[in-house]
Amino acid sequence: MLLENRTAVVTGGSRGIGRAICVAFAREGANVVTCYAHGSSAAEETVKLCKEFGVEAVAVQADVAKPEEVKCLFAEAKKITGTIDILVNNAGITRDNIILRMKDEEFDSVIDTNLKGAFYCMREAAGVMMRKRYGRIVNISSVVGIKGNAGQVNYAASKAGIIGMTKSLAKELASRNITSNAVAPGFITTDMTSALPDNVKDELLKEIPLGRLGSPEDVAEAVVFLVSDNAAYITGQVISVDGGMAI
């Protein structure tokens, strides 16, 4: 198993991409700690799926936009093995609107969760990883952070910012054997995309050279690779999992 006996923190693991990452980690032998902001049932289902692989798994209620709750999340994670080996920043929200109608709250809430939340988690993880001189950090960005998207100025800003933070952190932590990479998913089959009208989906497919929406598992496998020893010499990179959409 690629991640045997390692402990991973995965934010936003209740469903979709986050759940797929948690389950893939558990399959490879990692203990998994995930968090949820609202409602525990979906997060507990993720925990159940992870435990089927014989690993430790726990869900913690924590809003990553609040630094004090992030501290509690990491404190709970360290109770499993006393350390943290892997961090995946996946928690994210959308508040789409065209710029002339976008309210301050719509902009700020997306930046607070998607960008500042990732920063708070990276700061906590870095302290642990630097002391042990080992760590793997993967931040979930988006194709929107690379090429932009109408009606998503706030979301695009947060996901582009994640790429900048990823590269900067890679330079800061490389000497301590800690890698920092980003994965930029394209249009993935999740609760969010399933609500799109068929005509919108048809138009999206025209932009994807591989001709299909991605699955959460497509993203999860890329993340597993980046946190494994197979990717020990890869840092500061952005891996697009988008079927060629960003070409």
**If DSSP codes are grouped into helix, strand and coil, which group holds residue 34?**
strand
34 φ/ψ angles, rounded to the nearest 5 degrees: -125, 170
**If DSSP codes are grouped into helix, strand and coil, which group holds residue 26?**
helix
What's the burial of 217, exposed, middle or buried (CB within 10 Å: 0-12/13-18/19+)?
A: middle
Which parts of 44-196 are beta strand (E)?
A: 57-61, 86-89, 135-140, 178-185
**Active-site residue 155, yes or no?**
yes
Choosing from 36, 134, 155, 233, the catalytic residue is 155
Give CA–CA dist 211/114, Å, rounded: 28
What are 33's two structure tokens?
Answer: 């700690």
Contact between 141 and 149 under an 8 Å Cβ cutoff? The reply is: no
How many angstroms from the chain centroid is the CA of residue 162? 10
CA angle 241, 242, 246 (to 5 degrees): 115
DSSP 171-232: HHHGGGTEEEEEEEE-SB-SHHHHTS-HHHHHHHHHT-TT-S-B-HHHHHHHHHHHHSGGGT
Residues annotated as catalytic (active site), given as ranges: 155
